Amino acid sequence: MAQNSKRLLEMLSAQPVVPVVAVESAAEGVALARALAAGGLKAIEVTLRTPAALEAIMAIASEVPETLCGAGTVLTPRQFDRATKAGAQFIVSPGATMELLDAARSSEAPMLPGSATPSELMAMLEEGYEVLKFFPAEQIGGAAFLKSISPVFPSLRFCPTGGISMKNVRDYLALPNVVCVGGSWVAPKAAVEAKDWDAITALAREAVALRN
Query: What pLDDT was estimated at residue 2?
Result: 61
Instruction: Collect the ranges in the chain with pLDDT lower than 70.
Output: 1-3, 212
Query: What pLDDT was estimated at residue 3?
Result: 57
Query: What pLDDT was estimated at residue 211?
Result: 85
Known catalytic residue: 45?
yes
Domain, as residue range, for 96: 5-204
Of 28, 42, 133, 206, the active-site residue reads: 133
| 47-52, Cβ contacts within 8 angstroms, sequence gap of 24 or more | 47/20, 47/21, 47/22, 47/71, 47/72, 47/73, 48/72, 48/73, 48/74, 48/75, 48/79, 48/83, 49/22, 49/73, 50/22, 50/23, 50/24, 52/23, 52/24, 52/25, 52/26, 52/28
The answer to whether residue 154 is domain-embedded is: yes
DSSP 48-107: TTSTTHHHHHHHHHHH-TT-EEEEES--SHHHHHHHHHHT-SSEE-SS--HHHHHHHHT-
Query: What pLDDT was estimated at residue 49?
Result: 97
The answer to whether residue 124 is domain-embedded is: yes
Known catalytic residue: 167?
no
The answer to whether residue 54 is domain-embedded is: yes
CATH of the domain at 191: 3.20.20.70
The answer to whether residue 210 is domain-embedded is: no
Query: What pLDDT was estimated at residue 32?
Result: 98
pTM given for the model: 0.96
The answer to whether residue 83 is domain-embedded is: yes
Domain count, the chain: 1
Query: What pLDDT was estimated at residue 6?
Result: 84
The answer to whether residue 212 is domain-embedded is: no
Of 45, 85, 126, 206, the active-site residue reads: 45
Closest CA to 148 of 134, 136, 162: 134
Query: What pLDDT was estimated at residue 5?
Result: 79
pLDDT in tens, 20-65: 999 999 999 999 999 999 999 999 999 999 999 999 999 999 999 9
